[in-house]
Amino acid sequence: MSQLSSARYGKDNVRVYKVHRDEKTGVHSVIEMTVCVLLEGDIETSYTHADNGVVVATDSMKNTIYVMAKQHPVTPPELFASIVSTHFIETYPHIHAAHVKVTVHRWTRMTIDGKLHPHSFLRDGAETRNVEAVARKGSGITVRSGIAGLLVLKSTGSAFHSFIRNEYTTLPEVWDRILSTEVDCGWTWKTFPGLSAVMENIPSFDQAWQASRDITLKTFAEDNSASVQNTMYKMCDQILKAVPDVAAVDYSLPNKHYFEIDRWTEELTTKIDLSWHKGLKNTGKDAEVYVPQSNPNGLIQCTVTRKPKAKL
Ligand SMILES: O=c1[nH]c(=O)c2[nH]c(=O)[nH]c2[nH]1
């Protein structure tokens, strides 16, 4: 016999755009986001006994997102995700938890002739601001805020040496390398008892996003990196210091490799380091032309929390 061990369902990829028009100044502000809602609760019978009587249609969830976006602020995204998730657990007695993910896409105001334009915007990069709020009956609201898709590169100021060398090792040690990654980072807030606690915290959400982004970029740029591991730990540590209400910070960083052209051909017969062309020097200190790699890539992850205070 089988049993349903866990179940959640909902609507993903709900795209929403909202404009605010300032009637006095004529300045428009726009938000574009993609929302995912997943519900948990007493819904087993819909899976096991074809009982749709417990099913909130995913189409209705989509409609709810639009109505909530019309009736409530959509910024900061932490607030909107908390409003939507609280709505679902408060509206349906048999729904115990609502997971709401909000991905905010960039629409940055254009500068035209040195002036901010009132209603024109540009997509300056694939970076997104991400939030997941989970409202659970009797347990409050947990919120993880984050940044994803932020692509960065530094052309020096990064090393990687003194790692384990054995019969599986071919990687040379380097004291100067290119470092590039696509930042995916998050900061998890101490659990909020309910929506009013989220509302009291509204200004902190944008501040924390700005601080985390600034710390990520400044540390990436300025750290004399010994490894991705060490640089990301420094980022986490600073974010925990900068945002007191955050309980944990996590990063997931792919190591986007850029190799010198000094590899052997596949048949291992020739070194293709450009010297074959009129003796061109392009290795070591002469290296200028590199080959960006798409795969495989390193993937370095960590979560950093606060040390419990020592008992006296
Ligand atoms: O920063 C790095 N960390 C690693 O663990 C690793 N492994 C590797 O091959 N290159 C790198 N770089």
Residues above pLDDT 90, as percent of the chain: 92
> Please, are residues 264 and 271 in contact by the beta-carbon 8 Å criterion?
yes
**pLDDT, mean of residues 276-285:** 91
Q: Work out the pLDDT band at 112, boundaries 50, 70, 90.
A: very high
pLDDT of residue 265: 67
Instruction: Give Cα 49 distance to the centre of its chain.
Output: 38
**pLDDT, mean of residues 7-27:** 98
- The per-residue pLDDT for range 223-238, each reduced to its tens digit, is 999 999 999 999 999 9
Residue 179, Cβ density class (10 Å: 0-12 exposed, 13-18 middle, ≥19 buried):
buried
**pLDDT, mean of residues 59-76:** 98
Catalytic residue, candidates 96, 99, 256, 257: 257
Token pair listed for 181:
């990654």
> Please, are residues 211 and 239 in contact by the beta-carbon 8 Å criterion?
yes
Per the annotation, does 59 bind a ligand?
Answer: yes
| Res. 207: pLDDT tops 90 | yes
Residues 158-172 as b/e (b if ≥16 CB within 10 A, e otherwise) read bbbeeeeeeeeeeee
**pLDDT, mean of residues 163-190:** 97
**pLDDT, mean of residues 55-67:** 98
Mutate to test the pocket of ligand 1, among 171, 174, 235, 255 (most ligand atoms within 8 A of CB): 255
Bridge partners of 74, per DSSP, are none
Q: Look up 283 and say whether it is catalytic.
A: no
pLDDT of residue 84: 99
**Which of 249, 134, 133 is CA-nearest to residue 184?**
249
Bridge partners of 11, per DSSP, are 37
Residue bearing the bigger pLDDT, 76 or 274:
76
Mutate to test the pocket of ligand 1, among 230, 300, 301, 302 (most ligand atoms within 8 A of CB): 300
Take atom 8 of ligand 1 and give the residue whose Cα is closest: 298
| Res. 264: pLDDT tops 70 | no
Q: Look up 58 and say whether it is catalytic.
A: yes
Q: Work out the pLDDT band at 141, boundaries 50, 70, 90.
A: very high
| Res. 248: pLDDT tops 90 | yes
Owner of token pair 């017969």: 269
| Res. 311: pLDDT tops 80 | no
DSSP letters spanning the chain: --------EEEEEEEEEEEEE-TTT--EEEEEEEEEEEEEES-HHHHHS--GGGPPPHHHHHHHHHHHHHHS---SHHHHHHHHHHHHHHH-TTEEEEEEEEEEEP-EEEEETTEEEEEEEE---S-EEEEEEEEETTTEEEEEEEEEEEEEEESSSB-B-S---STT--PPPBSS--EEEEEEEEEEEPPBSSHHHHHHTHHHHHHHHHHHHHHHHHHHHHS-BS-HHHHHHHHHHHHHHH-TTEEEEEEEEEE--EEES-PBPTTSS-B-SSTTTTT---SGGG---EEE--SS-EEEEEEEEPPPPPP-
Q: Work out the pLDDT band at 263, boundaries 50, 70, 90.
A: low
Prior bond of 76 cis (ω within 30°): yes
pLDDT of residue 85: 98
Per the annotation, does 13 bind a ligand?
Answer: no
- The per-residue pLDDT for range 76-108, each reduced to its tens digit, is 999 999 999 999 999 999 999 999 999 999 999
Residues with CB under 6 A from ligand 1: 160, 171, 227-229, 255, 298, 300
Pairing of strands 115-122, 108-112: antiparallel
Distance CA 290, CA 31 (A): 39
pLDDT of residue 267: 72
**pLDDT, mean of residues 196-217:** 98
